[in-house]
Structure 1
Amino acid sequence: MPWSVRWVGGCGAQSQKQCKKSSFAFYQAVRDLLPVWFLEDMRTMEVFHWEDGGKVSVYSPSEALLYALVHDHQPYARHLLTKFPQSALAVPSQSFSCCQAAPHLAMAVRYNRVRVLFRILKAIQALPPSDRAGHLDRQGCSRVEGGKTALHMACELVRPECLLLLLGHGASPCLQDSAGNTPLDTLLQQISHVPAANMRAKLLCLDCLFFFVPQDLKFTMKQQLLDNRQQWQDLLGENRFQCLVGLAPPSLFVGAMRVLIRTISPEHFPEALDNLPLPHFLKPLDLKLES
């Protein structure tokens, strides 16, 4: 079996090569979607985790959740978030993350794991209020991720479902990355790419942002929109363009949606979208997720 490992004595007797091989066995087991009980047995065996310097320890729930995210092992992610709601979202070891911050939200967005993202956001809502923003608005490594939040990444990678889930659970659309860009700037940069691709999803992301951004949001792309008015009107449509640059107020629909969405608490998002007094085709996205 590819994940079989031979115990070769105490920690001091294990070679570095054997430890690395054993560590990869756990990664393979998650990748192969093996049962939760088996993965938990592996995770808590010291032989399955090697770190720099020859230190051997067990995998933390946080590190196991990162593997579950990469391979979309939803039952394992659900187990970790249910049994270890705080430690599953804790900072992993330095061998997993170069910055001392938990990267789980960004990882879920990067791999478009919408259902696992939903469970992570529910687990975050159960944390003390003082800890929630630290998870929701965590800025990524300035060297690797340019200080982007998970919301920036949802805009950069054009993930409408991830974007709406993050916004509905309280992620801030006003934060800037290392370059001074808000999530709106990041999305507009994607919209401007030539040739235009995936435009329907990009405009859907923009419409979702409209429901949550403050009307007086300052964003760096505004002057570029004004300087290239015709180009941006063609890309966005006249109504979106005029609203973005402040030449016209939001439409009655956008204004009404802003009010309605504010009535939904993060604890009941997105389930409460179904209860909005709107025809189904007017609702932002059809997010059918298990609670």
Structure 2
Amino acid sequence: MANHQAGLPDDQSGHCNFTASYMFCQAVRDHKPVWMLEDMRTTEYFHWEQDASSKMYSPSEALLCAVEHDHLPYAQYLLSRFPAEALKVPGGHFCYCPPSAPHLAMAVRHDRRYMLGLIVSIANKRPSLTSYIDRAGCVHLEDGKTPLHLACQLLRSDIVLILLGNGASPRIEDRDGLTPLDAILEQMWGSRVDVATKKLCLDYLLLFMPNPQFQMGKFLREHPERWALLLGEDKFNSLVGNIPASLCLQAMQTILQTLPPSHFPKSVQELPLPQKLKLLPCMGKQLPTEKIL
């Protein structure tokens, strides 16, 4: 349909497209009701292009907007109604990199823990999305980092735990060959800020990573005194291979490997073990994945 058939002058098509995009994003930002957002998303005349073709926001584009503005009810609707379509890479990107997980990356960057828990819980239920949580970002934009890399870089300890508990691999390397463990160790070496959070992220990674693999092993061995001070003697010697991990840590690593990601963290809470033997108090608390399901 041409612009004049919609009652719009020819030079207003681009303006209409911009206005429609702004109106939709603003409505999501203002947490308008789901029915209203879906009516806007699926109304073609809001989205006129200069070539007189029409389009709608895809479920994927709408979900990305919902994640950015933390509109959890709208995200729940999109993921329940269009799970596969909502988790696709949004269109319009002229990139030939492997499929990525921009919605997870957005949730990590904006610290949307409940949103991230919702996304990974849906992904874990669909066989076609088994590798979704480990998809690396575009090498041009994210340097091939997975959502777990980003969470470690940003010191989002709760998100690190959610990702690991839901099956994210701590062994995947980014474009530079660095694992999430390398990301945490680099931060511990470079700054004394947020030391407790860095150590918590490190402990979470080690819980889900028997026989740690990382690039910085040689660097640790070259500076033993400072690393022993940063990490503690036992943890430093375990990381560089001088001694095995503690029996308690090894036991928890083995147990966590047997627990299905789709039931995390409830499966950890139900373990018939005293809380002090679960190593980390946070393993027994309610996490975002529980609240939203």
**Fold in common (TM above 0.5):** yes
Amino acid at match of 2:90: P
Deviations 1:227-256 (A, max 9, x none): 111111111111211111111111122111
Structure number with higher helix proportion: 2
Aligned to 2:92: 94
- Structure 1 residue 140 corresponds to structure 2 residue 145: no
Distance in 1, matches of 2:102 and 2:24, equals: 20
Other-structure match for 2:24:
26
Change (3 A) 1:260 1:102: closer
- Residue of structure 2 equivalent to 1:259: 254
Gap change, CA 1:54 and 1:132, over 3 Å in 2? farther
Residues 77 and 272 of structure 1: CA distance in aligned 2, closer, same or farther (over 3 Å):
same
- Aligned-pair distance for 1:225? 0.8
The unaligned stretches of length 5 or more in structure 1 are 1-6
Q: Which residue, 187, 195, 198 being the options, matches 1:199?
A: 195
Q: Measure the CA separation in 2 of the matches of 1:46 and 1:121.
A: 31
CA distance in 1, matches of 2:150, 2:276: 27
Could you say what secondary structure the match of 2:149 adopts? helix
1:39 maps to what in 2? 37
C-alpha distance in structure 2 between counterparts of 1:126 and 1:185, whole Å: 30
| Per-residue Cα deviation, 1:101-159 (whole angstroms, up to 9, x for no partner) | 3411111111111111111111111211x5311x1111111121111011111111111
Cα distance in 1 for residues equivalent to 2:130 and 2:187: 29
Q: 1:63 aligns with which of 58, 61, 64?
A: 61
Identity of aligned residues (%): 46
Tell me, which stretches of 5 or more residues in structure 2 are unaligned?
Answer: none
Q: CA deviation at 1:261?
A: 1.3
Alignment of 1:1-291 (within 5 A): 9=6, 13=10, 14-49=12-47, 55-94=53-92, 101-128=100-127, 130-133=128-131, 135-194=132-191, 196-215=192-211, 217-280=212-275, 283=278, 284=280, 285=282, 286-288=285-287, 289-290=290-291, 291=293
SS at match of 1:258: helix
Structure 1 ranges of 4+ moved more than 4 A: 10-14, 50-55, 95-100
Residues 191 and 199 in structure 1, CA contact (< 8 A), matched pair in contact too: yes
* Equivalenced residues, count: 281
Contact 2:160 2:201 in 1 (8 A): yes
Q: In 1, distance between residues paired with 2:275 and 2:95?
A: 42
Write the distance in 2 (CA, Å) between the matches of 1:159 and 1:276.
25
The alpha-carbon deviation at position 191 of structure 1 amounts to 1.5
Please give the TM-score of this superposition, normalised by the length of structure 1.
0.89
TM-score normalised over the length of structure 2 = 0.88
Give RMSD over aligned pairs: 2.4
Q: Structure 2: which amino acid aligns with 1:205? A: C
Structure 1 distance, partners of 2:109, 2:68, is 9
